Amino acid sequence: MPLKSVQELIASETGGSVRLVENPMGITASTTDQIALPLNPVRYAWGIVNLGAQAIYIAPSSPASSTRGIRVDITGGLVAFAWKTDLALVIPEWHLIAASGTPAFFLWEIVGDPGFPYEEL
Protein backbone atom coordinates (compact mmCIF):
# COMPACT_ATOMS: atom_id res chain seq x y z
CA MET A 1 0.00 0.00 0.00
CA PRO A 2 1.51 3.39 -0.98
CA LEU A 3 2.11 6.00 1.68
CA LYS A 4 -0.44 8.80 1.87
CA SER A 5 0.52 12.44 2.15
CA VAL A 6 -0.82 14.50 5.03
CA GLN A 7 -3.06 16.30 2.54
CA GLU A 8 -4.54 12.96 1.41
CA LEU A 9 -5.17 11.94 5.03
CA ILE A 10 -6.86 15.26 5.75
CA ALA A 11 -9.02 14.94 2.63
CA SER A 12 -10.06 11.40 3.56
CA GLU A 13 -11.06 12.55 7.05
CA THR A 14 -12.72 15.86 6.20
CA GLY A 15 -13.89 15.42 2.64
CA GLY A 16 -11.83 18.37 1.42
CA SER A 17 -8.85 20.59 2.04
CA VAL A 18 -8.02 22.77 5.00
CA ARG A 19 -6.11 26.00 5.38
CA LEU A 20 -4.23 27.77 8.14
CA VAL A 21 -5.56 31.14 9.33
CA GLU A 22 -3.54 33.29 11.74
CA ASN A 23 -5.33 35.55 14.25
CA PRO A 24 -8.60 35.59 12.26
CA MET A 25 -10.11 38.45 14.28
CA GLY A 26 -6.93 40.55 14.14
CA ILE A 27 -7.01 41.27 17.87
CA THR A 28 -4.37 42.38 20.37
CA ALA A 29 -4.55 40.97 23.89
CA SER A 30 -5.68 43.42 26.55
CA THR A 31 -7.40 43.52 29.92
CA THR A 32 -10.78 43.78 28.17
CA ASP A 33 -12.44 40.50 27.18
CA GLN A 34 -12.74 40.05 23.44
CA ILE A 35 -13.61 37.38 20.93
CA ALA A 36 -10.44 35.67 19.71
CA LEU A 37 -12.18 33.10 17.50
CA PRO A 38 -15.73 33.30 16.14
CA LEU A 39 -18.08 30.31 16.12
CA ASN A 40 -16.99 28.08 13.23
CA PRO A 41 -18.45 24.60 12.53
CA VAL A 42 -15.65 23.84 10.01
CA ARG A 43 -12.75 24.61 12.38
CA TYR A 44 -10.80 21.37 12.82
CA ALA A 45 -8.08 22.62 15.17
CA TRP A 46 -6.72 25.76 16.76
CA GLY A 47 -4.05 26.85 19.17
CA ILE A 48 -2.52 29.79 20.97
CA VAL A 49 0.99 30.47 22.24
CA ASN A 50 1.50 33.24 24.77
CA LEU A 51 4.66 35.11 23.75
CA GLY A 52 4.32 37.76 26.45
CA ALA A 53 5.28 38.24 30.07
CA GLN A 54 1.67 38.38 31.35
CA ALA A 55 -0.78 35.48 31.55
CA ILE A 56 -3.63 35.16 29.06
CA TYR A 57 -6.95 33.46 29.83
CA ILE A 58 -9.22 31.87 27.22
CA ALA A 59 -12.77 30.55 27.56
CA PRO A 60 -15.44 29.14 25.26
CA SER A 61 -18.77 30.82 24.55
CA SER A 62 -18.62 33.64 27.13
CA PRO A 63 -16.13 36.07 28.66
CA ALA A 64 -12.80 34.78 29.96
CA SER A 65 -11.31 35.84 33.29
CA SER A 66 -8.78 34.65 35.84
CA THR A 67 -11.64 32.79 37.56
CA ARG A 68 -13.27 31.41 34.40
CA GLY A 69 -11.13 30.00 31.69
CA ILE A 70 -7.91 28.27 30.79
CA ARG A 71 -4.66 30.00 31.74
CA VAL A 72 -2.13 30.29 28.91
CA ASP A 73 1.10 30.70 30.85
CA ILE A 74 3.73 33.34 30.08
CA THR A 75 6.60 33.14 27.56
CA GLY A 76 5.65 30.07 25.59
CA GLY A 77 2.52 28.75 27.27
CA LEU A 78 0.53 26.73 24.73
CA VAL A 79 -3.08 25.60 24.49
CA ALA A 80 -4.28 23.68 21.44
CA PHE A 81 -7.46 21.83 20.48
CA ALA A 82 -8.10 19.33 17.69
CA TRP A 83 -11.47 17.84 16.78
CA LYS A 84 -10.22 14.22 16.92
CA THR A 85 -9.30 14.52 20.59
CA ASP A 86 -11.28 17.47 21.90
CA LEU A 87 -14.47 16.96 19.87
CA ALA A 88 -16.75 19.99 19.81
CA LEU A 89 -14.39 22.25 21.81
CA VAL A 90 -12.92 23.45 18.51
CA ILE A 91 -16.24 24.86 17.25
CA PRO A 92 -17.51 27.54 19.68
CA GLU A 93 -16.65 31.18 19.91
CA TRP A 94 -13.54 31.60 22.12
CA HIS A 95 -12.82 34.63 24.28
CA LEU A 96 -9.44 35.98 25.38
CA ILE A 97 -8.28 38.38 28.09
CA ALA A 98 -4.85 39.35 29.43
CA ALA A 99 -4.15 39.31 33.17
CA SER A 100 -2.40 42.68 32.68
CA GLY A 101 -0.76 44.67 29.94
CA THR A 102 -0.90 43.65 26.28
CA PRO A 103 1.03 40.38 25.92
CA ALA A 104 1.93 39.26 22.41
CA PHE A 105 0.51 35.93 21.28
CA PHE A 106 0.40 33.67 18.25
CA LEU A 107 -3.07 32.30 17.44
CA TRP A 108 -3.94 30.00 14.56
CA GLU A 109 -6.82 27.87 13.38
CA ILE A 110 -7.14 25.13 10.79
CA VAL A 111 -10.40 25.50 8.89
CA GLY A 112 -12.11 23.55 6.16
CA ASP A 113 -11.82 24.96 2.68
CA PRO A 114 -12.84 22.58 -0.12
CA GLY A 115 -11.52 24.96 -2.79
CA PHE A 116 -8.08 25.44 -1.22
CA PRO A 117 -5.36 23.66 -3.26
CA TYR A 118 -3.19 21.17 -1.36
CA GLU A 119 0.10 22.57 -2.63
CA GLU A 120 -0.55 25.92 -0.92
CA LEU A 121 -1.16 24.43 2.52
Q: pLDDT of 96-116, one tens digit each?
A: 999 999 999 999 999 988 665
Q: What is the DSSP string of 56-107?
A: EEEEESS--BTTBSEEE-TTTEEEEEEHHHHGGGGSS-EEEEESSS---EEE
pTM beyond 0.85: the answer is yes
pLDDT at residue number 115? 65
For the cut 90, the answer to whether the pLDDT of residue 93 exceeds it is: yes
What span, in angstroms and rounded, lies between the C-alpha atoms of 4 and 39?
Answer: 31
What span, in angstroms and rounded, lies between the C-alpha atoms of 75 and 12?
Answer: 36
Tell me: the pLDDT tens digits for 25-67? Answer: 999 999 999 999 999 999 999 999 999 999 999 999 999 999 9
CA quadruple 41, 39, 70, 18: dihedral sign: positive
- Residue 106, SS3 per DSSP: strand
